[in-house]
């Protein structure tokens, strides 16, 4: 079976959570870093298709979910939705008392802290021009074969159909390969710090997706 890119279906969620965990350490497998295998997915994967299933796209083969792109068209509205719908039950499931470092190298506590005190999902200064944001993750066996480009291309089409002005994302300083990927597919770097870069893409121009 060849790899297909298709719209998200609810049955994709477990597979998406697995991909999120297996790419969750600056692109590398984070399985050993989490006692709870769901925590990363709760923060970075699950809320997007639940809030707006039309902006999640899946790369799948005969083994299941190989990769995904998730997005929101409006980061500020998404933050409000998270506060109202997504975080309250999660805060009961993962109480604040779990947000302390047990000192064993696991990172569950950092994600629990994030559930209780989420930072802004998109930079304020860039929000007006680039209100959308995304996350993309592909398992190693699917990387380097053009799937990332294909996933982003279908997402950009969906965002343009909705009249969204622009898209931004943050890429960690420990993931230079991802930064190179975004530059290769036509994003520009709006901000660069040691810990992260903010990449942006204007969706109003008629500029074709490179490649
Ligand atoms: C980053 C990621 C989404 C890229 O997807 P991909 O399918 O491997 O990338 P593609 O094959 O579509 O590559 C598209 C372009 O990006 C370039 N590129 C991709 N990964 C690259 C890397 N690690 N270093 C340099 N260039 C890279 C390719 O050379 C290609 O350029 P070209 O068309 O000019 O030849 C994927 O590798 C991934 O999911 N990695 C793990 C999770 C992760 O890091 N997510 C991003 C967090 S911000």
Tell whether ligand 1 has an atom less than 6 A from the beta carbon of residue 77: no
Nearest residue by C-alpha to atom 18 in ligand 1: 181
Task: Give tens-digit pLDDT for 157-195.
Answer: 999 999 999 999 999 999 999 999 999 999 999 999 999
C-alpha closest to that of 76 among 41, 46, 51, 108:
51
Compute the Cα dihedral for 118, 121, 126, 129 and give only its sign.
negative
**pLDDT (0 to 100) of residue 210:** 52
pLDDT score at 211: 42
- The mean per-residue pLDDT over the stretch 101-112 comes to 98
If one residue of 5, 23, 41, 143 were mutated to test the ligand 1 pocket, choosing by the most ligand atoms within 8 A of its CB, it would be 143
Residue 88 CA to its chain's centroid (Å): 21
Residue pair 92/176 in contact by the 8 Å Cβ criterion: no
pLDDT above 90 (res 205): no
Mean pLDDT of 2-7: 96
Among the residue ranges 76-85, 117-126, 178-187, the one predicted with the least confidence is 117-126
Mean pLDDT, residues 13-32 taken together:
98
Reply yes or no on whether the pLDDT at 207 is more than 70.
Answer: no
pLDDT at 11: 98
Per-residue model confidence (pLDDT) at position 208: 52
What's the full length of the chain, in residues? 211
Closest by CA position to 133, among listed 209, 73, 76, 85: 73
Instruction: Work out the pLDDT band at 119, boundaries 50, 70, 90.
Output: confident
Dump pLDDT digits (tens) for 54-67.
999 999 999 999 99
Report which of 73, 20, 26 is spatially closest to residue 197, judged by C-alpha positions: 26
Nearest CA owner, ligand 1 atom 31: 184
Q: Give yes or no for a contact between 168 and 200, defined as CB atoms under 8 angstroms apart.
A: yes
Looking at every residue in the chain, the average pLDDT score rounds to 95
Sheet with strand 4-7: strands edge to edge: 4-7, 57-61, 64-72, 132-138, 166-172, 196-202, 188-192
Q: How does pLDDT run across 84-100, given as a tens digit for each residue?
A: 999 999 999 999 999 99
Is residue 206 pLDDT above 70, yes or no? no
Mind listing the domains of the chain with CATH numbers? 4-202 (3.40.630.30)
* Residue at token pair 């350490």: 25
Strand ranges, E, within the chain:
4-7, 57-61, 64-72, 132-138, 166-172, 188-192, 196-202
């Amino acid at each position: 079976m060849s790899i297909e890119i298709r719209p998200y279906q609810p049955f994709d969620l477990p597979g998406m959570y697995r991909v999120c965990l297996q790419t969750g350490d600056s692109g590398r497998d984070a399985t050993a870093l989490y006692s709870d295998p769901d925590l990363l997915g709760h923060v970075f994967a699950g809320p997007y298709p639940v809030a707006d299933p039309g902006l999640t796209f899946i790369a799948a083969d005969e083994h299941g979910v190989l990769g995904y792109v998730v997005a929101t068209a409006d980061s500020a509205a998404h933050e409000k939705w998270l506060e109202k719908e997504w975080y309250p039950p999660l805060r009961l499931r993962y109480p604040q008392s779990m947000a302390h470092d047990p000192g064993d190298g696991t990172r569950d506590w950092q994600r629990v802290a994030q559930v209780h005190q989420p930072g802004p999902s998109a930079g304020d200064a860039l929000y007006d021009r680039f209100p959308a944001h995304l996350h993309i993750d592909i398992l190693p066996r699917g990387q380097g074969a053009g799937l990332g480009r294909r996933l982003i291309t279908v997402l950009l089409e969906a965002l343009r159909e909705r009249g969204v002005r622009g898209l931004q994302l943050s890429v960690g300083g420990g993931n230079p390969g991802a930064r190179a990927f975004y530059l290769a597919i036509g994003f520009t770097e709006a901000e660069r710090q040691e810990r992260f870069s903010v990449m942006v893409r204007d969706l109003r121009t008629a500029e074709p997706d490179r490649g």
